[in-house]
Structures are given as structure tokens and as C-alpha cells.
A and B are shown apart, each in its own frame.
Chain A
Amino acid sequence: MPDILTNPGRPQGCEVAIESVSKAYGPLTVLRDVTMTIQPGEFFTLLGPSGCGKTTLLRAIAGFHPINSGKIAFDGKDVSRLAPWDRNIGFVFQNYALWPNKTIFDNVAYGLKLRKVPKADIAKRVRNALQQVQLKNVEDRYPSEMSGGMQQRIAMARALVIDPPLLLLDEPMSNLDARLRVSLRQELRDLQQRIGVTAIYVTHDQEEALELSDRIAVMHGGVVEQLSRPEDIYARPQTRFVAEFVGDANFLEGRVAEGRFHLEDGRSLQLAEPGEAGPATLFIRPERLRLVEAGQGQLDATVSDIRYVGRSWVHKLALGEALHVWAEAPVKLNIGETFGLGFEAATLLRAA
């Protein structure tokens, strides 16, 4: 990869192809036959709860974990057997992993020194990289003197200064407080777009994933549950797990017959796209559930509980003895009032 080192222009992000990758620790399988292709320059997120295999996959791409089977290729070149130090990637760690005994300069310059970049160029490139992450005049300081947000930026600069075609980020914001996280997100996205590096981002925070990503792979139990654009993940989850993990959701069990969705207690409602007959789960986001006057909707329900969430009120609406849905409304309703519900925005999930 000498061209990357000498070429003053930035390299393009690379394509990452993951083919049938499996990984097990003894009897415990953590990745099952994972296949995906990440486009050059794409901001790609691996989203899922802890233990879903997302970090393992990221570390397998970095080469920290050898994979048991399958293939990982950068721009068509198989790197599955390549040592991590030969993969030329940028990696940002959850805890930043800044070396506490080295100055900020020495931290950032480390990769350049390994690449035998001339001294004068190192200073210039370190300064540039720090500028890219909005830091100035911190070269002589030590990581322990920096705030969490600054450490995160330095870790980013250290990963990017070597101009990697691929940037891997392992929950880099999870140790930051909520406000800082939101502002850094946008910065990160801008930076990635500006550089054009391919980014693979691991998080369990769905908000972060939806805001940052070009595409998201939702992982669960070592497999990819859904790989789509953020809006599809949110609006059209393909599995109940995805629907549940991303955003809030109402589920109603029942079956489709004669073009209508029948609840278990016998009531039924009309759907825009009922699809094939058979058992199905009706899914609708609380903010998409339409509240109308009693009798005007498809089903009637009574307000039984109210929660204030800041931007709106979320109401628990009882449909029957043990059946209820949550609905979001900009105004506060009264307990005991009855409303009609409109399920126009609902979709159906079917067991695979």
C-alpha cells in the first residue's frame, strides 16, 4: 500500500465484502453465515443488543479475531488470512485506547512513524488530522488531561491520519454524555463524508444508527436480521425483533382472512395491504396510530394510563381485558375516555 502513503490525495474508501462469515468460541457460535457488502464511501452501521455479534464482526473485519469460515475482502482482495497490522484500517475503540504514556502528538503520529513517513510530513499530517477533528495546540499534552469528547476526537485523528480506506468504529460514543453524543454524531458524519472513507460503525443505540448511517444491518444472535436504509428499518421492519429493537412499537397477534385482520378475540379491522391469509402480527408505531372519536375508527379503546415523555404524551389504550396499545398524542387525554383507533399505517409481520 505504498501509494496510500505517498499519494497526497486521499484514497477512496474501499468496498468491504463479507461472504458467509462464521465464528465460534468453542461451543458458542457468535456469527452465523453472515454475508453483506459495504459500498465504497458508505457509512454502514452494525446495530444490535450486546451479544448479537456486531463487535465480533467488526473485530473480524479488523483481523483481531480469526474467522472460522467464510471470506472477507477489501476491494475484491481477500484479507481473511491477512494479519491485522497488514490490513491498513483505522480503528476507533470504545474506550479510545489512547496510550496514556504518550503525548497527543505521539499517539497520533504512531501510525505515520510505522510507515516511515518523513519527520516534517508527520508534523504536518498530525496537525491536519487534529484540525479535521476540531482540535488545535494539544500535541504536547497527555490523554489524561483531555475530556472524554476530546479523547474521542484524538482517537479519530489517530485512526484517520494514516489515510485508511476503511474506518472501523466500535461504539465510540458510548462513554460520552447524551448531549455531547448528539453533537459529535453530526461532526462524525460530516467528517466521513468529507474524507470519503468507508465507515463501519458498531452501536447499540438505534437513534445514533438511524441518524448516521447510509445503511444499517440489525444483528441478533449472530445473524443479520435486516439490512436496509434507516428509513426502511424504522418504517418497514421485516422481523418482530427489528421492529422491537428500533423505536417503540405496538404488536397485535391475529390472522389474516378474507382481506381483513382478525384479532384473537374475534374483532377485525381493515388493512390497506392485507396480503396472504394466515397467522400474522400487526405492527404499528405509537406515533402512527390515529386517534379519532369513539366509533369513528376501526376499533374502540379506552385510555387507561398516561405517560409524559416531553415532546408529547403517550397513552395506554385498553382494547379489551388483556389487550392494549400505546398511542402518542400532542395533547393530554383523560383516563377513562374512549377513542376510535385508525390502523392505516400498520404493516404485517409474518413468522419466517
Chain B
Amino acid sequence: MRVWRDNWLLFTIVALVLCVATILLPQLRLLSASVIGDGGSFSMVHRGSGLEPVPEMSDQFQTEAVDKGNALKVTRGGGFALDISRMDRQTLRLSAAERIGTTDDGNGHLSLQLGGSSLAVTQQAPRGLFNRTAPDPLSASQEPDGSVVLKHAANAYLTFNDPGTRLTISNYIDFVTGNETVKATLNSLFISLSATLIAALIGVSLAYVVARFDVMGTNGIVFFATMASVSPPFLGAYSWRLLLGRNGVITNGLGVDFSIVGIHGVIWVIAWLVFPVIFLLSYSAFRGLDASHVEAAESLGANPAKARFSVEIPLAMPGIITGLYLATMAALSDFGTPRIIGLDLNVLPVLIYTSFLSEAGRNPALAATGSVVLVAISSLFLMAQQIYLAKRGFSVVSSRAIDRRPLSTTGQICALGFAGLVLFFAFVPHMTVLVTSFMEWRVGLPRFAFTLSNYTNMLESGLTPAWVTLSLGIAGTAVAFALGLGIAFVLVRKRYAVLAPVLSVTVMMPYVIPGTVLGIGLIMMFNEAPLQLTGTWFILALAYVIRNLPFTVKASEAALRQVHPALDEAAISLGARPLRVFLTVTAPLMLAGAVTGATLTFLHIVTELSSTIVLYRPPWKPMTAVIFENTLVDADFGVSAAQTILLMMIIYVPLYLVVRYGQSRRIENA
């Protein structure tokens, strides 16, 4: 068998099976949940004032009063008809053209059989606050004439539910006609596009200035932007609210009647959250320009301004567009910011989360439908980006790096001022948290009194979340990276027919799946034996690996393309088998270029919020979940601030090490 002889083919098949099971199937599961509806239900309330239908709680069935207050007729397409009339305050008679069957399993689960379908009957009865007796239970008895007599509690709501399932697009119809859902969708689109626009204005112009002019401290600016790009996602919202909320430190201090809470605040905070990615990609695009392209324009008489808009920006466009796309995606799928600073603002990720995880308004079908819509919007953005890149799919291979233009003193001051201002805004949240972590917190608000108690409390209450975060970060990075390396190798070097393209598409899918949606999909998929993973450390690790796989595969592919195939073949010709070639030659060579990628994966994992908040269960509760919850519940933020500082150390120390030492031993490749 070829499969057994070719280790890589075996790996490809195993990787494909794993990816399909953990990426594709949960999404299909979500999709199917969005097109499956239950068999419908109807409700009525039976009080002293009479028997009334409750149309808000009826679906598929029509209930109409025949004798107002005394009798109802229930119908549904397909010939179903049921008559219900009151006998006394707690008794109803149910009759139909045919005989009605009843079953009672003794545990209070009562059901009726009628017209080929089964109806589960439940009652909900009010109970006084200090009442010591329970409502009367529900019971049904068969009458000789085929009707059923139903006894229930006083003043009860009775719900008849058909547990059958059917294929339906009604969830989608509800989605596009519902006030809340349409608003949430429009809000999401508006926020993501306008935040990206603001971030693009800041990010692209700063990138241009820093890339093309000889600005002092360029490395520092780029490093700070990199730091900002891996900030914990909820940090900004909380800090800005603390400063500029109606009761914020600054608004109170200045006595102004202003609040950042609302859609404008969400846009503002998200713009600062996503600007670094636009800046970094635009910066490298501008740095990647070939000097001769610009010189050619200049030799033909273009002044710098003309060359900028006719040559430099168009040539850098693929990089800028990629940055814009990533920013839009981040903005679209951000859960933390709108949840914290939006107050009553509804956006898709929050809608999905709350309709999946809430006590009574729980609506998995709505969550699934919202998820599908969100993934569809993301996919449209991706398609737009791909179409743009395909049309203008050139890559500028820089043969001679462009020289930075010198700046006059005034120019230098302006450029530094601009960069300083941008970085100041980007780091306002970090500074806020640092300062407030040393402040005393009372009833959810900071007081101007220095204290270390937040840190001592953090140490006392245990560092378990830090360990959970670290273990997930390290294990997730290792697995995502090993898989990423292997898959990239298969995609770049092996290119198996059918398998490789399918693997490639599957592995890239999480690119368009927001964290909330991914989490819900995983719960739907892995909540039952034998694949019961919910509530374990593994499901978090799995989510993190999946979410980072597109990134690690792309990074490894890039690294692999730098490794000339002859380097592999040299080892093969000397007698090394494929796996050995990979382990002793290819992987070490890729690794050198890919450590940065691994670090970023680690940083993504330890700051991941949107899938964490859906998936975590104790005792596996990562720091992001702890901090986020504390910002919402009435807990004091002090300890959370201390934890955020710890999280930032977990993030920024490795980042600094990689930036400082990662590039020092550059390996020339063949």
C-alpha cells in the first residue's frame, strides 16, 4: 500500500480527517441547526378569568377562541384539529375527531398522541413569593369517548409542543425580518467598516511616513505598533469606559456631559484595536517597494506627491488591502468591545453569544442562523479581498530597497508628533490598566490611593488562570505549529491530487469563522460521547489550534518557500528518507524563519477571548475569561487590572525577546 510507504501521504490523510472533523463538521452542524425547526407549539393560559390563547408562544399552530374564555380550537396544516374547552378552574377537556392517546412516564413528562404526531404538555404556574405549597401537578385521563381530561395547577400556562423536526428556512426568514437581528447585522457592518476606515487613515498614513521618511526611532515605533497589535482584545473597551464613560475619570474631572458608551465608543475603541495590523502590513508593503519603480516615475517627471499617489500607494495596495481585510474581520468578529462598551448596542457576535448562552431566551436556532450569517459576511469580505488580489495580483519583488527621504527639523517634529500621538492613543488602555492596578477599588470604581493589595489579592486568590493560560498557550502553539509545518510542507512540496487542495481549503476555513461561532460549533459537535470534549482543557486547546491553524500554515508556507527544494533533495540523495529529511533538514530551516510566527500564535492564544468565553468550564478558566467576567459582574476591577498586567507580561516578554534576538542570526538561504 502506498499509504503506508509514504509517510507524508499518511500524514495528509490523518490531518485531513482531523481538520474535517474539527473544522468542517462543526460548521455543517451549525448550518443544519439553522435550517432545522421543531414541530411547533401552542400555549394557552387558564385563569379564573377564563381560557385564553397565547399567540406569542405559538408556532406552526393556530389557536382561536371559539367561545371566548371557555373554548379554543387549535389547528395546523395537514388536517390537525383539536378542541379545548374548560370544565372547571383547573380542568380542561381536549377532544378531536379521532381518539386522543395519552402517555405519562411518571416523571411529570406528559404527552398526547393525535393526528400522527406527539405533543408534549407542560405547565407553568405562578407561585407567590412566600408560598409554601407547590402547584398541583399536571395529569391527564382518558375518557371513554376518546377525549382527554387534563388537570393542571391554578392559573397555569399550558404549552403543547411537537418535538418533531422539520427542514425549514423560517429561521432565516425570522432573521431577515426581525427587528433585533437586522439591527445587529447593520450595526456589525457599520462598526466594522467605519472602524476599519478610521484605522486605515491612521495606519496607512503613519506607515507611509515611517517607511518613506527618515523618522527618528523607526524601530521603536514599529515595535510599539507590534505590541499594540497583540493587546488583549477587551482591554481598550474597559479602559476607555473607565476614562471617558459618563462617570469616567476624565469626564468627571472635567465635568463634561459626555459618555463614550455607545456605538461611537465601540467604533473608536475597535479602530485603535485594529489599526496596528493595517499599519504593520502597510509599512512592510511600503518598505518592500523597489526603488527603481519610484525612480522611473521621477525620471518621467513625477514630483514626490504625484509619485506617491500614482506609483507608491498603488504598488503597496496588495499589502494595504490585506491589512484592511484583516482589520475588518477583527472588527466584525470582536465580541469583547461591543459587550463592554456598547451597553444596549446589539451586534452579531454578542447576539450569537447571548442567544446561545442565556437562561431563558436561549435560542440555538437563532445562534446558528446568526453564525451562518456572520460567516457568510466574513466570506464575502474574504472573496472581495481575493478578487482584488487576483485582479491586481502582482507581488513587488524588491531588488533594491527604497531610500528613506531625509526630513527637515520641522518635518521630523511633525512626524514624531504624529507617531507619538498615535501610539499614545493606542497605549491609553495599557497605561490605564497599569495605573489602576495600583489603585484602591471600591464598589467597582477606582480611588486615588496607592495600594499593592490588587497584586497581593491576585497572588492569594491563586494563579491557576495564569497556569491554564500558559499551558494552553504553550501546548496550543506547539500543536498548531507542528501541524502547520507539516500541512504547509504537504501543500508546498507534495501537492497530492485532490487531497492537498481539499486540505488547503479546509485548513483556511477558520480564517472566516469568528471565535464565538467556532466555539458554538465545537460545543454542538463535541458534547456527546464518545467525543465528549466540552468542559475540558482539550476543547479550548482544540479551538485555539483551529483558530491559529490558517495563520501557522501560511507562515510555514512562506518559510518553506524560502527553503530551496534542492536542500531537501541533497539530503535524499545522501540516503535520508522523507520524514528524516523533514526533521533534520526542512523543519530546522523553516523553524529559523518561523519562530516569529510561533510567537504570534502564542500571543493570539493567550489573548483569545471570543471562543474562550463560549467554551471554558472550570477548572480550566484562562485569564482572559477571568478578567472579562470581572469587568462585567460587579466585581472590583483592581485584581483584574493586576491580572491584566500579568497577562501583558506573558505577552510582551516573549514578543520583546523575539524582536530583539529573533532576527540576529539571519540565515542566508540558497
Q: Which of A96, A101, A143 contacts B588 (CB 8 A)?
A: A101
Contact, CB under 8 Å: B670 / A96 = yes
A89 with B576, Cβ < 8 A, contacts A95-B564, A95-B670, A97-B670 known = no
Contact between chains at B566 and A95 (CB < 8 Å): yes
Chain A residues in 8 Å Cβ range of B566: 93-95, 97
Verify if A86 is at the interface (C-beta below 8 Å from B).
Answer: yes
Closest 9 CB pairs of A and B: A111-B574, A97-B566, A91-B573, A97-B570, A144-B668, A93-B566, A95-B670, A100-B667, A84-B572
- B125 to nearest A CB, angstroms? 75
Does A144 contact B667, Cβ atoms closer than 8 Å? yes
Nearest chain A CB to B75 CB, angstrom units: 65
B412 to chain A, nearest CB (A): 37
Q: How far is the CA of A87 from the CA of B588 in the complex (A)?
A: 25
A143 and B566 alpha carbons, distance in the complex (Å): 15
With contacts A100-B589, A100-B667 known, is A93 near B569, CB below 8 A? yes
CB-based contact B585/A99 at 8 Å? yes
- Tell me whether A64 and B592 are in contact in the complex, defined as CB-CB below 8 angstroms, given that A99-B585, A101-B667, A144-B668 are known contacts: no
Evaluate contact between A158 and B574: CB separation under 8 angstroms.
yes
| Chain B: minimal CB distance from A5 (Å) | 10
Q: CA A96 – CA B571 in complex, angstroms?
A: 12
Residues of chain A within 8 A (CB-CB) of B569 are 62, 64, 84, 91, 93, 97
Q: Does A224 make an interface contact (CB < 8 A)? A: no
B667 touches A62 (CB 8 A): no
Q: Judge whether B573 and A99 touch: CB under 8 Å.
A: no
Residue contact B589 to A93, C-beta cutoff 8 Å: no
Write 25 A-B pairs (CB below 8 A) sorted by A numbering: A64-B572, A84-B573, A85-B573, A85-B578, A87-B573, A93-B566, A94-B566, A95-B566, A96-B670, A97-B564, A97-B567, A98-B670, A99-B585, A100-B589, A100-B667, A100-B668, A101-B589, A101-B592, A101-B667, A110-B571, A110-B584, A114-B576, A115-B575, A155-B570, A159-B573
Using Cβ atoms and an 8 Å threshold, which residues of chain B touch A83? 577
Asked if A90 contacts B670 (CB within 8 A), the reply is no
Contact residues in B for A86 (Cβ distance below 8 Å): 575
CA distance A91 to B567 in the complex (A): 11
Main secondary structure of the interface of B (DSSP, over half): helix
Determine the distance from Cα of A98 to Cα of B566 in the docked complex, in whole angstroms: 9
Contact string against A for B residues 565-607, beta-carbon threshold 8 Å, 1 for contact and 0 otherwise: 0110111111111101000110011001000000000000000
- A126 on the interface (CB 8 Å rule)? no
Q: How long is the Cα–Cα vector from A207 to B193 in the complex, in angstroms?
A: 64
Contacts of B572 in A (CB 8 A): 63-64, 84-85
- The smallest C-beta distance from B351 to any residue of chain A, in angstroms, reads 50
B575 touches A111 (CB 8 A): yes
Tell me which of A85, A93, A101 contacts B575 (CB under 8 A).
Answer: A85
What's the nearest-Cβ distance from chain A to residue B496, in Å? Answer: 14
- Minimum CB–CB distance from B13 to chain A (whole Å) comes to 20
A101–B567 Cα gap in the complex (Å)?
Answer: 11
Q: Say whether, besides A97-B566, A100-B668, A62 and B573 are in contact (CB < 8 Å).
A: yes
Told that A85-B575, A162-B575 touch, could you supply 13 new A-B pairs with CB distance under 8 A? A64-B569, A85-B578, A87-B573, A95-B564, A97-B566, A99-B570, A111-B575, A114-B575, A114-B580, A158-B570, A158-B574, A159-B574, A168-B573
| B669 part of interface (Cβ distance < 8 Å) | yes
Residues of A within 8 A of B668 (CB): 100, 143-144
Considering the chains assembled together, what is the distance between the CA atoms of A143 and B577 in angstroms? Answer: 24
Residues of A within 8 A of B577 (CB): 83, 85
> Which of under 10, 10 to 19, 20 to 34, or 35 or more describes the interface residues of B?
20 to 34
> Which residues of B (96-136) have their CB < 8 Å from a CB of A?
none
A114 nearest in chain B by CB position? B575
- Verify if A88 is at the interface (C-beta below 8 Å from B): yes
Residue-wise interface mask of A (101-138) relative to B, using a CB-CB cutoff of 8 A (1 in contact, 0 not): 10000000011001100000000000000000000000
Chain B positions 647-670 with a Cβ under 8 Å from a chain A Cβ:
667-670
Give the residues in chain A near B670, CB-CB below 8 Å.
95-98, 100
- Nearest CB of A to B45, in Å: 73
- Minimum CB–CB distance from B623 to chain A (whole Å) comes to 36
A100 touching B573 in the complex, CB below 8 Å, given contacts A95-B564, A95-B566: no
Q: Please name all residues of chain A whose beta carbon is closer than 8 Å to the beta carbon of B588 when the two chains form the complex.
A: 101
Q: Mark A157-177, 1 if CB is under 8 A from B, else 0.
A: 011001000001000000000
For A115, list chain B residues within 8 Å (CB): 575
Q: A47 CA to B567 CA in the complex, in Å? A: 24
Cα separation A85 to B569 with both chains bound (whole Å): 9
Q: Please, what's the 1-or-0 string for A54-90, where 1 marks a CB less than 8 Å from any CB in chain B?
A: 0000000011100000000000000000011111111
B567 to chain A, nearest CB (A): 5
| CA–CA, A84 and B570, complex, Å | 10
User: Please, how many angstroms separate the alpha-carbon atoms of A111 and B576 in the complex?
Assistant: 8
- Judge whether B573 and A90 touch: CB under 8 Å: yes
Residues 18-36 of chain A, each 1 if its beta carbon lies under 8 Å from chain B, else 0: 0000000000000000000
CA distance A87 to B569 in the complex (A): 13
Most chain A CB within a 10 A radius of its CB, from B572, B577, B588, B668: B572
Answer whether A162 and B589 are a contact pair too, CB < 8 Å, given A64-B569, A100-B667: no
How many Å from the CB of A276 to the closest CB on chain B? 48
Residues of B within 8 A of A162 (CB): 574-575
CB nearest to B670 among chain A residues: A95
Cβ distance A92 to chain B, nearest Cβ, rounded Å = 9
Nearest-CB distance from A94 to chain B (Å)? 7
Nearest A-chain residue to B591, judged by Cβ: A101
**A88 with B570, Cβ < 8 A, contacts A97-B564, A101-B589 known:** no
Q: Which residue of A is nearest B566, CB measured?
A: A97
The answer for the CA separation of A143 and B585 in the assembled complex, in Å, is: 15
Residues of B within 8 A of A97 (CB): 564, 566-567, 569-570, 670
Question: Which of A63, A91, A101, A144 meets B570, CB within 8 Å?
Answer: A91
Q: In the assembled complex, which residues on chain A have CB atoms less than 8 Å from the CB atom of B573?
A: 62, 84-85, 87, 89-91, 159, 168
A101 proximity list for chain B (CB < 8 A) = 588-589, 592, 667
In whole angstroms, how far apart are the Cα atoms of A86 and B573 in the complex? 8
Q: Which has the most chain B C-beta neighbours within 10 Å: A88, A89, A110, A143? A: A110
| Shortest Cβ distance from residue A157 to the other chain B in the assembled complex, whole angstroms | 12
Min Cβ gap A122→B in Å is 13
Q: Which chain A residues lie closer than 8 Å to B669 at the CB level?
A: 100
A167 to chain B, nearest CB (A): 10
Residues A134-158 near B (CB distance < 8 A): 143-144, 155, 158
Contacts of B580 in A (CB 8 A): 114
Cα A95 to Cα B576 with chains together (Å):
20
Q: Which residue of A lies closest to B580 (CB)?
A: A114
The chain B residue with its CB closest to the CB of A90 is B573
The smallest beta-carbon distance between A84 and chain B, in angstroms, is 5
Instruction: Name the contact of B574 in the complex, choosing from A64, A114, A144, A168 (C-beta under 8 A).
Output: A114
The complex places the Cα of A85 from the Cα of B574 at a distance, in Å, of 6
Please measure, in the bound complex, the distance between the C-alpha atom of A68 and the C-alpha atom of B237, giving whole angstroms: 63
Taking CB atoms, residues of chain A closer than 8 Å to B575 are 85-86, 88, 111, 114-115, 162
Assuming the A-B contacts A144-B667, A144-B668, are A99 and B574 also in contact, with contact meaning beta carbons closer than 8 angstroms in the complex?
Answer: no
**B666: min CB distance to chain A, Å:** 9
A235, chain B: closest CB distance, angstroms: 36
Q: How far is the CB of A67 from chain B (nearest CB, A)?
A: 17
Complex CA gap A100/B593 in Å reads: 12
Residues of A within 8 Å of B567, CB to CB, are 97, 99
Distance in Å: Cβ of A204 to nearest Cβ of chain B: 18
Bound-state Cα–Cα, A114 to B573, Å:
11
Q: How far is the CA of A155 from the CA of B670 in the complex (A)?
A: 12
CB contacts (< 8 Å) of B578 on chain A: these are 85
B574: A residues at CB distance < 8 A: 85, 110-111, 114, 158-159, 162
Determine how close the nearest CB of chain A comes to the CB of B283; give it in whole angstroms: 27
Complex Cα distance, B565 from A62, in Å, reads 14
A140 to chain B minimum Cβ distance, whole angstroms, is: 15
